[in-house]
Each structure stands twice: as structure tokens, then as C-alpha cells.
Amino acid sequence: MKKVISTPKAPAAIGPYSQAIEVNGMVYTSGIIPVVPETGEIPEGSQAQAKQALTNLSNLLEAAGTNMDNVVKTTVFIKEMNDFGTINEVYKTFFSSDFPSRSCVEVARLPKDVMLEIEAIAIK
């Protein structure tokens, strides 16, 4: 049985999808972009956008009853591979134990022209 997860502390879905789905003790998130949920604003720069996207992801996982330490896999989509190092520095501050497995790919364009999008799979 699947359960839809949503929170106002992460960007609302802007299409026919859920922020996250829980099934069999696992949480699967949709791609999270660096939109400030309260204002709809997008921070300037890759470092600020990485922090906002990861904060949104953390808030979504909290709403699902889990946290960043239970993330087993992430996929990071970035607009510019030259930002990889900056994004990586922010990324590592959001995990306090073993890092999850990860894929990181450069893409041509992301929603709202943001610099990154991240999705995750976590255990409950």
C-alpha cells in the first residue's frame, strides 16, 4: 500500500505528481528544486541553491517520518558540471553518517531554470 507524502516546507508539486511516496518502509521523493516554499523565490548562486534544495529535501523526509541519515540513494541533476565542487561542499554538510550512493548528471535545463534538482530514496 502506498502513502502520499506532502509538506508545505518543500516546494509544492507543479504537475500531476506527489512530493514523495512511501511504500514498504521506503520513501521515494520527486525531484526537489531550490525554491523557498514560503515565498516561491529562488536563491542566487549554486551554493545557495544547493543549500535550499537540500533543506527542502530534509523537510520532506521529516514529513515522511525519516531523515537525511536514512537516505540510501540520491540523484543530483545539475545545470553546469563546473558547479559540481561547490554543490558537493554543501551536499556533504547535510549527512552526518555514511553517505548515500549517488548519481550526478549535467542536464540542459531544469524547472524554473534552477541550477540543480535532487531526488532521494530513504528508509523509514
Active site residues: 104
Q: What one-letter code names the amino acid at 100?
A: P
Q: How many CB atoms lie within 10 A of CB 26?
A: 15
In a 3-state reduction of DSSP, which class is residue 94? Answer: helix
Residue with cell 561542499: 89
Beta bridge partners of 74: 102, 120
Q: How far apart are CA 70 and CA 124, in angstroms?
A: 7
